[in-house]
Chains A and B, each alone.
Chain A
Amino acid sequence: MRSKKIVKWGILFVLPYLVWSTIFWGIPFGWSFILSFFKWSVISPTHSFVLLENFITLIYGSPIAVSLFVMLRNTLYFMAVFIPIVVFGSITFALLVSRIKRFKSIFIIGFLMSYFCPGVGYTLIFGEFFAEDGLFNNLLMNMGIHIPWLSDYRLAMVSVAIIVIWKCIGYYGLLFMAGLQAIPPAMHEAARIDGAGAWTRFWKITVPLLNAPLVITLTLSTGMSFALFTEIFMLTGGGPQKWSHTFMYEIYTQIWTYGNAGYGSAVALVTGFIGFGLILLIRKLVEREVYT
């Protein structure tokens, strides 16, 4: 009798989550595939089956749709600036904090805060820094330099990357710190006795043993690059000349400005596949079995 009662409770407890998951996870999941083969308008109830037209438009672009290759170029450009700097910066941060003995938590909290700061908030602040007559240019003016942070097509994505680096270094640094703690001190000691210098020990012991946090960081930062929205929406609007037009911004534009749910869904699917594929590829290339 008791176990029957437990069964009843069990199902009752899981039911709300199952219902919600069906409506807002299961149905959207299946529907996103169906939608991408339709011309489906948000505003009017008309929709028609168009087979692969959405995907073809995505490849070639159209007056109202940015080509896949432009968005991919922008995202890869962003990643090429963002990822090396954020990995180098967070490892440095982790090494420095692991080294010191006192006030560790002050530094961790100070750097980590930015990760939880509202996107709209920090983007408004950095927007003022990067403005034509903003703080950075005012400081540089004394040296006679003027940098068009957001209005130059080559620099816009770099400026956005600077903001996201500021946001992420504390968080990724914390992951590397956990990795550093997991390295047994005896390994360094043994290598030292064998005559290995600090430089050799860093490259032969520390770096290989940081593989796990490195893989997590690369996964998170790739995912973040493909989900870039708030900074673009607030600062560049995809410009100049579409050089900061990201996948997420395109999805937003399609649905908000043009009401193209079908086309937007095709973009979202391709974004999901490319992002996921890239993460799998990175993992395959970087991930190693590490024995301590």
Chain B
Amino acid sequence: MKKGVKAREKYLDIMSYILLCIGLCIWVFPYLWMIFTSLKIPAEIYARAFPTTLTLGNYVSISTELSLYGFNFYKGLLNSLLVAGVCTASVVLFSLITGYALSRLKFRGRKSIYSFVLLQLFFPGVIFIIPQFLIVIYLGLMNTYFGMMVTFLMGAFGVFLYAQFFRTVPQDLIDAARIDGCSESGVLRRIMVPLSKPVTATVALFTFMSVWNELLWPLLVCKEPGKMVLSVMLAAFTKGGYGADLGVTMAGTTILTLPVIIIFIVFRKYFLGGIVMTTGLK
């Protein structure tokens, strides 16, 4: 009987692997299709699944093709990097100091500020967009980089993660540093920052991804082709009915998507850690 159970277990294992492999192929197929299509020569785009000759021509033509309509594709890439980069740096810096102050420094109103941060986490984002948009208009930030960044410069999520983390740092460590003559900013710089590296990685990666992937906000704030970020530019170009060539469109899509995929694969540890941290609070 035991032998029968064992055989059945083995059979189920093999079935699991087969099902998962089929699933994996389906799930990864869109990326492979995107990359292959972007590398095809025009004659093979619709004719063949896999290209016989590879070309980087589409990556050159996307720049020339978009410039006909006033877009500068590679400038868009730089704009995306700039906006996402500045937002990431800002979120990390301010979340770190705010989270530190809220968890380790004693001052009046600390508890109520922390409750406020927790409250912020639970509100649906949809109700803020229009008033935020009006504020950006009235502050004269339309069509500026700062306008595209400003609502992403800080966030309750980062503050919460840092505060939760700093809470777990033993007080003895801080006291010892203070006795040794370490200043308040020294404690932060020499002890807290190095200790919180995993949190920093998680906050930075999640922020970078969400700003890079964002469509609605930069679409509302920026109508000037020269300042558009990559996602908006691609959406505007493909939606504009300019009759973009499929290979060229997929070259643009690859440039938008592939960096994110690579970052995700390289830093997968922090993404998995971040998911665990974020779902703990829901």
Q: Does B148 contact A (CB under 8 A)?
A: no
**Cβ contact within 8 Å between A14 and B275:** no
Interface residue from A32, A129, A256, A276 paired with B128 (Cβ < 8 Å):
A32
Cα distance, A147 to B114, chains bound together (Å): 53
- For the complex, is B87 an interface residue (Cβ under 8 Å from A)? no
Does A61 make an interface contact (CB < 8 A)? no
Closest chain B CB from A254 CB (angstroms): 8
- Binary contact readout A92-110 vs B (1 if CB under 8 angstroms, 0 otherwise): 0100110111000111111
Q: A32-B127, A170-B27 are in contact. Are A13 and B97 (CB under 8 A)?
A: yes
Q: Is A42 in contact with chain B by the CB < 8 A criterion?
A: yes
Residues of chain A lying within 8 A (CB to CB) of residue B250: 124-125, 128
Per-residue interface assignment for chain A, residues 237 to 269, with 1 indicating a CB less than 8 Å from any chain B CB and 0 otherwise = 000000000011001100110000100110011
Residue of A nearest to B9 (CB): A99
Instruction: Tell me if B224 is interfacial: C-beta within 8 Å of chain A.
Output: no
CB pair B154 A21 closer than 8 Å: yes
A113 in the interface (beta carbon within 8 A): yes
With A21-B154, A24-B132, A227-B126 known as contacts, the answer to whether A174 contacts B272 (CB < 8 A) is yes
Residues from chain A with Cβ under 8 Å of B231 in the complex? 118-121
Q: Which of A68-76, A148-156, A228-236 touches B?
A: A228-236
> Which stretch (A3-11, A78-86, A200-208) binds chain B?
A3-11
A159 in the interface (beta carbon within 8 A): no
**Interface of chain B: mostly helix, strand, loop or mixed:** helix
The 8 Å CB contact of B130, one of A17, A35, A108, is A35
- Tell me the residues in window 229-272 of chain B with beta carbons closer than 8 Å to chain A beta carbons: 231, 234-235, 238-239, 246, 249-250, 253, 256-257, 260-261, 264-265, 268, 271-272
A65 in contact (CB, < 8 A): no
B128 with A29: CB separation less than 8 A: yes
Known pairs A6-B107, A20-B154, A116-B271; A261 contacts B133 (CB<8 A): yes
In the complex, which residues of chain B have a beta carbon less than 8 angstroms from the beta carbon of A214?
none
Q: Are B127 and A7 within 8 A (Cβ)?
A: no
B131 touches A124 (CB 8 A): no
Q: Which of A17, A35, A275 has the most CB of B within 10 A?
A: A17
A124 touches B249 (CB 8 A): yes
A37 beta carbon closer than 8 Å to chain B: no
Residues of B within 8 A of A135 (CB): 33
Chain B nearest Cβ from A272, distance in angstroms: 4
Q: Are B130 and A268 in contact (CB under 8 A)?
A: yes
B100 an interface residue at 8 Å Cβ cutoff?
yes
- Residues on the B chain within 8 Å of A124, using CB: 234, 238, 249-250, 253
Is A29 in contact with B127, judged by CB distance below 8 angstroms?
A: yes
B24 adjacent to A28 (CB under 8 Å) = no
Those of A205-227 within 8 Å (CB) of chain B: 216, 219-220, 223, 226-227
Residue B124, interface by CB 8 Å: yes
- For residue B67, which residues in chain A have a CB less than 8 angstroms away from its CB? none
For B131, what are the chain A residues with a Cβ–Cβ distance below 8 Å?
Answer: 27-29, 31-32, 35, 265
Number of residues of chain B lying within 8 A (CB) of chain A: 80
Chain B CB within 8 A of A184 CB:
no
Complex CA distance for A120 and B120, rounded to whole angstroms: 27
Q: Does A112 contact B (CB under 8 A)?
A: yes
* B7 sits at the interface (CB 8 A): no
B128 near A100: Cβ-Cβ < 8 Å:
no
Pick the residue among A23, A113, A118, A171 that contacts B256 (CB under 8 A).
A118
Q: Which of A101, A116, A226 contacts B126 (CB 8 A)?
A: A226
When the two chains form their complex, are residues B12 and A255 in contact, meaning their CB atoms are under 8 A apart? no
Given contacts A223-B124, A269-B127, contact A248 B135 (CB under 8 A): no
CA distance A104 to B209 in the complex (A): 24
List residues of B whose CB falls within 8 A of some A CB.
12-13, 16-17, 19-20, 23-24, 27-28, 30-31, 33-34, 37, 94, 97-98, 100-102, 105-108, 110, 113, 116, 120, 123-135, 137, 150-151, 153-154, 159, 178, 184-185, 209, 212-213, 215-216, 219-220, 231, 234-235, 238-239, 246, 249-250, 253, 256-257, 260-261, 264-265, 268, 271-272, 275-276, 279, 282
Closest 6 CB pairs of A and B: A28-B131, A121-B257, A13-B101, A10-B105, A10-B107, A31-B131
